[in-house]
Chain A
Amino acid sequence: MEITINQKPFKLPQGASINEAIEAFGAQPPFAIALNLTFVHRQRYGETFLSQGDALEIVQPVAGG
């Protein structure tokens, strides 16, 4: 299946969890995740399974005003 992570296409096995997406992306902590604009608590990464066309956002701390 194909999903997007930070708006870039990624191919993952059907029914992959967020943990697998994190590994495919190579995310470096600290980060937080939203799936289709809904926040996903880090404790739920392993039990949240992705579907074709899902949009994952992985964000990190940056400077802000």
Chain B
Amino acid sequence: MTSARTFFRRFGGLLQKEFVQIVRDPSSIAIALVMPVVLLLLIGFGISLDARNVRFGIVDENRSVESAGLFQSFANTPYFRPFSFLTAKAAEAALMRGDIEGFVVLRSDFTRRVADPIRAADIAIIVNGVDANNARIVTGYAQGVVATWLLGHRRDRAQPALSPITVENRYWFNPEIRSTNFIVPGLIAMVMTMIGALLTALVVAREWERGTMEAMLASPASMTEILLGKLVAYFVLGLGGLAVSVFIGLFVFEVPFRGAAEVLIAVSSVFLIVSLAMGLLISTVARSQFVAAQLAFLVTFMPALILSGLMFDIESMPPWVQAVTTVFPARYFVSSLQTLFLAGTVWPVLLPNLAMLVGFAVVFLALAIARTRRSLE
């Protein structure tokens, strides 16, 4: 039986070695600290669901005070940048070219019909439906602009109007519905998945390549100690990367943080172990690099983007896809981070996620140790 002192000396030696290597080899520091910054900034700014300055056409066949007023209403919102067209044909051509996202058509009888109590005025709102999500949002905004204009117009003319029921929306946790607020916490999860996996996968592969793994295995150090030493060292490095990411989220993207910091650290630590262990696992099966590349891509980036609930609502997916999402750890971390950043320390959400992550950590570590042991065979 190994005495505690022996264990600490061995383990201390392994740790020290890992840290010296990290300091000497800039590539692992680059992966852990520089890559999150670059990816987070690029993707954080790159993914945005907030439509701003949508180029929108106003086909004005009416040419009246009313139509000019409506044009002005479009210009006054931050969502639209209106362009005036004389004919629907011209606007259609612009839509085909992609110059505008949509347009409204105000017919020549617009003024008369707006004032007509019997026959309501027709306004055609046409949007480019290719980007369905964006189209829906733009349509909503456009309808809103027209409705607001109409209300004002009526008020100006002191027209009596039957009050419609209106919906007042209140967004909890994210009152200005900035998509950045929920995308950035998710992104941190995605970036950490990639980095954790990359760090260990590359580092372990290098040890095999140079024959140092073999030398370690022949020494009295046990497999668990060797892998643990690696894990702890890169865990510390990964926490650094996480800190950088959180810092960017808070101060560059100005995402609020409402949870408890220690809970964030706890959840992130568990997730980091999961992704480091995943890297270990990839490196042990990555004998054929071509297949491993596909594998890494298949299990990290694309699922983190599509299946983690970061972009798409998991509950709206078909049941079998929902079942698939449960095996990607990123899903649980995305949900935890979004809650911690925007809602606070809500244990009923966090606990099940944390439990799943701990489960993944245990399974992946056990698999990694078992597979590495057999790697020489």
Do they bind each other?
no
Residues on A lying within 8 angstroms of B by beta carbon are none
